[in-house]
Amino acid sequence: MTEPAMTEPMSPDQLEAALRAIGRERYHDRHPFHGLLHGGKLDRGQVQAWALNRFYYQSRIPLKDAALISRTEDPALRREWRRRIEDHDGDHEGDGGIARWLHLTDALGLDRAAVSDGRGILPATRFAVDAYVRFVREKTLLEAIASSLTELFAPAIIGNRVAGMLAHYDFVSPEALSYFDKRLTQAPRDSDFALDYVRREARRPDQQQDVMAALTFKCDVLWAQLDALHHAYVAPGHIPPGAFVPEGRG
């Protein structure tokens, strides 16, 4: 072991600064695919591929959040976390974040049944997303909560995304992007809670290391999904067997 032993815990402010530094370096707003997406450099088929694959991620978020609720004995924490499931599943058919994501895939001309079933998504999408759900099921509660902290960095990317996509793509309307409007208020509320929890609970150096590793892991989950999209759908494009093929390709 060449790393120096870490004997002193960070203060909550130091920990928060360390977490924000991870986001600055690793959050997927820095991925080149997002530069292309938001800058109007993708064609409709490439945007379809993004929306289709990202739907799989969205569809698994309530499973991840329910797994977290299933692990905590504190009713107050369960109530707080329940809002995330409510946000995604809504209160009735057609309500909630998952349904709003289907507005986007509808607007992009994708078949709703195929999207819902994950037909044609990249295997790497599935592997990354499933790894995230499994992480939340199996790691400590503190790590599970810390892995949600990418939401700290979401509002900035959402603002850029909505503005960029509306400016550049005539096949994208404000209604199609309604998912993101909601997230602009939901994400800060959720990340404030998770950040407070982590600042309060991660007091020992080993816990603080776990928290930073959890956020790094989650950044990897997001980044790997864009890597796979970039490799498959950005020229020259290497669409793997069985994956979605935009019209005029393949």
Site for its own copies in 114-153 (CB under 8 A): 137
Instruction: Give the range of 33-41, 86-94, 105-113, 221-229 binding its own copies by CB under 8 A.
Output: 86-94
Region of residue 5 (phi > 0: left; psi between -120 and 50: alpha; otherwise: beta): beta
Of the candidate residues 69, 131, 141, 142, the single one contacting its own copies (CB under 8 A): 69
| H or E segment and range at residue 16 | helix 12-26
Q: Is 73 in the site for its own copies (CB under 8 A)?
A: yes
Q: Is 250 in the site for its own copies (CB under 8 A)?
A: no
Give dist(CA 250, CA 243) in Å, integer. 10
Instruction: Give the range of 13-21, 87-95, 204-212, 230-238 binding its own copies by CB under 8 A.
Output: 87-95
Q: Is 103 in the site for its own copies (CB under 8 A)?
A: no
Give which of 65, 44, 54, 61 is closest to 118, Cα–Cα: 54
Nearer to its own copies, 118 or 237 (CB): 118
Determine the straight-line distance between the first and last CA of the chain, rounded to whole angstroms: 50
Query: Total binding residues for its own copies by CB under 8 A?
Result: 28
Bond into 62 cis (ω within 30): no
Give which of 163, 191, 193, 178 is closest to 97, Cα–Cα: 178
Residues 6+ apart with CB under 8 A from 6: 205, 209
Nearer to its own copies, 45 or 96 (CB): 96
Of the candidate residues 2, 5, 8, 92, the single one contacting its own copies (CB under 8 A): 92
Of the candidate residues 8, 13, 91, 170, the single one contacting its own copies (CB under 8 A): 91
CB of 74 to its own copies, least distance (A): 10
Of the candidate residues 19, 37, 98, 219, the single one contacting its own copies (CB under 8 A): 98
Backbone angles phi, psi at 236, to 5 degrees: -75, -20
Judge whether 22 and 212 are in contact, CB under 8 Å: yes
Q: Is 189 in the site for its own copies (CB under 8 A)?
A: no
Judge whether 101 and 89 are in contact, CB under 8 Å: no
Q: Is 199 in the site for its own copies (CB under 8 A)?
A: no
Nearer to its own copies, 28 or 100 (CB): 100
Judge whether 140 and 208 are in contact, CB under 8 Å: no
CB of 221 to its own copies, least distance (A): 17
Give dist(CA 209, CA 192) in Å, integer. 20
The angle that helices 44-69 and 75-89 make with each other, rounded to 10 degrees, is 150
Nearer to its own copies, 12 or 118 (CB): 118
Site for its own copies in 3-62 (CB under 8 A): 59, 62
- Which stretches of the chain bind its own copies, using CB under 8 A? 59, 62-64, 66-73, 75-76, 78-79, 82, 85-86, 89-93, 96, 98-99, 137
